[in-house]
Amino acid sequence: MAETITHDVVIVGAGLAGSWAAMTASQQGVKDIGVLSKIHPLRSHSGAAQGGIAAAINNTRPVAGTGPRGPLEMIPEGDELIDSWELHMFDTIKGSDWLGDHDAIELMVKEAPDIIYEYEHLGCVFSRLPDGRIAQRRFGGHSVPRANYSADYTGHVLLHTVHEQALRHGTKFYSEWYCMDLIIEDNICRGVVAMDILTGEIHTIRAKAVMFGTGGYGRAFKITSNAFANTGDGVAIAYNAGVPLMDMECVQFHPTGLYRHGILMSEACRGEGGYLTNANGDRFMENYAPDKMELAPRDLVSRSEQKEIDEGRGVGSDGQGIYLDMRHLGREKILERLPQVRELALEFVGADMIDTPVPIQPTAHYSMGGIPVNVDGQVLASADGTPVTGFFAAGECACVSVHGANRLGTNSLLGASLFGKRAGVKMAEMVLGGAKLMPISGDPAGKNEERIKALMNREGKENVEDIAQELKTTMTDNCGIFRNDEKLKQALEDIDELQGRFKNASIMDKTNRFNTDVLAAIETDHLLTFSEVIAASAKERKESRGAHSRTDHPKRDDENWIKHILATKDKSTEEPNLSFKDVNIDWERFPPQERKY
C-alpha cells in the first residue's frame, strides 16, 4: 500500500491561485506546504494568459480629442488622474450584469494596485512606458486603459515570478500528481487522495488545510481556448464530496478564438485597435455597441458575432467565422505588442495578421461559476455562509463572486492572484493558530484504488473519447452562447444518456505507469458531472444576464433573478438540488441599470 503523506497545507493546483497561496502561506511562517499539479506547474493555464492584469494605477490615458479608440499617452507626473478604484468597481459590476457581489468586488479593486506593485517588486518583467512605469492598454468593458501587461505573455511572466518565489520558500511541488478525491467528514476537510501519475500509486494526503486552485473547465465545449488540462476536476471532486457549486450557468465565450481551433487571440488584439468584420467587410459592432464597438464586453461581442454568423454573414468554408483585422496597426506595433498571437495565427490557420485578416470565432473561455467561497477563500458548505472547516478554493475553480454573470478581461489574473494570496493568509492563520491533523476513517486511498481497478476490469463496448466528444457537441449546441428551454432539456437528456454509457466504457491500457487512458476516463467522468450542473442551472435561470443568454427569456429580470444559484448533489438521486443565495448589492451606490455600451 502506498505511503500516507502529511503536510500542514496541501494545495491542489500550481497556477496563479495555487502559487500565490503557497508563497503567501510560507511568507507567513508555515513551513510544511505541498502543492500538487497534474501537469508540470509552469504548464498551468495561467501561463497561457496573454492580455493583461487589471489595476487602476493611472499610467496611461487616451490622447485628448482622439476618441475612444485613439492612441494612448503617458499621464505626466502631477496631471489629473483618470482612473480610480471606484471606476474599476463600477465597470466590474456593470460587466457582471449585477450578479457579482459588491463587497467582494470592492475589496478586489481596492487591493489591485498593491498586487501589481508586489509583482513588480518580485521582479516581474512588465512592458514599460518610456519613463519606466508599467505600460497599460485598453480592454473590453473597462472605461479607461487599465490592463497592465507584458507584451502578450502576461500570464507567463506572472506565473514564473510567483512560482520561483514559492520554490525559494521551500514549497514541495508534486509535479504530475493527480488529485482524485477530497476527504471531508463532519464538515471538516482532512485531506485529499492523489495518484502519482508516474508510478500509478495512490496516496492519501492528510493536511490541516486543503486548497483547490484547479482552474477552469472550458474543455466541456467543442471549441475552447482552454488547455487540455482544464477539465474541471476540482469542481467535480468538490461537488461529489457534497460541496455546492454556484453560478455554474455563467460560462464566458470569448469573441476571438482562432477559427476551428478555439486557440485564443487575446482581447489585447482589439485593445490595441483591431477590427471585427463580417463577410461583407462591415465593422458590424456599429450595430450592436456603437460607443464601445469592438471593445464592448465579451458576452455582447460574442453574441453579436454569433448573430452575424447565424444570419449568413460569417466567413470561412462553413460560414462559422468572422474576421479579426489588424492590418492597419502596422508591422512594428504587431511585432512589439502581439508577437505570440501573430505566431499562433500563422502556425494554426496560416494567416499573417500583418497583411491578412485572421478568421476567428467565439470560443468557450472562462468559467464564472465554481466552488462558492468567501473573500478569505473559505469554501461555503451552504447558502447561509457556513464554511467547510479547513477547505479553501481560489482562482477560476472558485466563485467569490467577483465576476458575476460576465467577467471583464484582465480581472481574472487579478482575482486568482489576490484571492490565492488571501487564502494563503487564512490557511497560515489556521495552521499557526494550532489546527490539528484530523483523523480519517476508512481507507480513502484503497477506495480509489478499487475505483481504478473497476475501471480497468470493465469489458463494456463504449469508448471514453466518443463519450467526451458527444458531450462537447451537446454542450456547444444546446448550452452554448444562445440557450432556451428546449435546448437545455436536450442537453440534460444527452448528458444523462452519456453518464449511463460511461458506466459501460472500458479502457485499453491496463498498466500502472503513466496511464493516460485512466486519467482521460476520470477527467471525462468529471466533465459529465459538472456539465449536468451547468445545464441544470442554465435551465433554472429563466432570464438573460451577462453570458447567460436565453432566447425564450431575452430580458434581464431584476425582480426575480438578482440571486445566485447553488447546486448540491442529491445523495440518493445523484441529481443536482438547486437553492438560492442573495447577491450582495450596494443599492445606494451601484443600483442596477441598463447595460449599454
Ligand X SMILES: Cc1cc2nc3c(=O)[nH]c(=O)nc-3n(C[C@H](O)[C@H](O)[C@H](O)COP(=O)(O)OP(=O)(O)OC[C@H]3O[C@@H](n4cnc5c(N)ncnc54)[C@H](O)[C@@H]3O)c2cc1C
Residues forming contacts to ligand X in the complex (CB under 6 A) are 12-18, 36-39, 41, 44-46, 48-53, 154-155, 177-179, 213-216, 225-226, 229, 233-234, 264, 366, 395-397, 409-413, 416
The single residue listed with the C-alpha cell 435546448 is 487
Q: What's the closest the beta carbon of residue 18 comes to ligand X, in angstroms?
A: 6
Closest to ligand X by CB, 59 vs 148, is 148
Q: Is the dihedral of CA 271, 272, 273, 274 positive or negative?
A: negative
Considering the complex, state which of residue 152 and residue 308 has its C-beta at the smaller distance from ligand X. 152
Cis before residue 44, ω within 30 degrees of 0? no
Shortest separation between residue 116's beta carbon and ligand X, angstroms: 12
Tell me the torsion sign for CA atoms 416, 419, 425, 426: negative
- In whole angstroms, the minimum distance from the beta carbon of 137 to ligand X comes to 10
Tell the smallest beta-carbon distance from residue 98 to ligand X (Å): 21
Please check whether residue 149 is in contact with residue 53, taking contact to mean a CB–CB distance below 8 angstroms: yes
Ramachandran quadrant class, 50 (left: phi over 0; alpha: psi -120 to 50; beta: rest):
alpha
State the minimum distance, in angstroms, from the CB of residue 47 to ligand X: 7
Residue with cell 432556451: 484
Query: E-strand spans in 199-304?
Result: 201-212, 245-246, 251-258, 275-277
CB 523, min distance to ligand X, A: 8
In angstroms, the CA 267 to CA 52 distance is 9
DSSP designation for 463: E
> Angle, nearest 10°, between helix axes 233-240 and 516-540?
70
Residue nearer to ligand X on the CB measure, 278 or 524: 524
Q: How far is the CB of 453 from ligand X (least distance, A)?
A: 19
Q: Between residues 181 and 494, which has the closer beta carbon with respect to ligand X?
A: 181
Residue with Cβ nearer ligand X (100 or 155):
155
Residue whose CB is less far from ligand X, 116 or 585: 116
Where do we find the cell 506593485?
117
CA distance 132 to 94: 32
**Closest distance of CB 178 from ligand X, Å:** 5
Count Cβ atoms below 10 Å from residue 587 Cβ, excluding itself.
8
User: Within its chain, how far is the Cα of 202 from the centroid?
Assistant: 28
How far is CA 409 from each of CA 270, 298, 307, 475, rounded to the nearest angstrom?
Answer: 12, 8, 22, 23
Query: Which C-beta is closer to ligand X: that of 36 or that of 565?
Result: 36
Q: CB of 135: closest distance to ligand X in angstroms?
A: 14
Q: If you ran DSSP here, which 8-state letter would residue 79 be given?
A: S
Residue 503 contacts by C-beta under 8 Å, 6 or more apart in sequence? 460
Burial class of 172 by CB neighbour count within 10 A (0 to 12, 13 to 18, 19+): middle
**Comparison of 178 and 259: residue with beta carbon closer to ligand X:** 178
Catalytic status, residue 138:
no
d(CA 188, CA 236): 18
Q: Which is nearer to ligand X, 38 or 61 (CB)?
A: 38
Catalytic site residue from 133, 298, 303, 550: 298
Closest distance to ligand X from the beta carbon of 217 (Å): 10
Residue 64: how many other CB atoms lie within 10 Å: 7
Is 386 buried (19+), middle (13-18) or exposed (0-12) by CB count in 10 A?
exposed
CA dihedral 302, 308, 313, 319 (to 10 degrees): 50
Helix (H), strand (E), coil (C) string for 84-142: CHHHHHHHHHHHCCCCCCHHHHHHHHHHHHHHHHHHHHCCCCCCECCCCCECEECCCCC
Q: Of 43, 48, 35, 45, which is closest to residue 166 (Cα–Cα)?
A: 35
Q: 293 near 271, Cβ under 8 Å?
A: no
d(CA 402, CA 432): 29
Per the document, the length of the chain is: 597
The least CB distance from residue 3 to ligand X, in Å, is 18
Query: 359 vs 377, which CB is nearer to ligand X?
Result: 377
CA–CA separation, 534 and 349 (whole Å): 31
Q: Which is nearer to ligand X, 236 or 289 (CB)?
A: 236
Residues acting as catalytic residues: 298
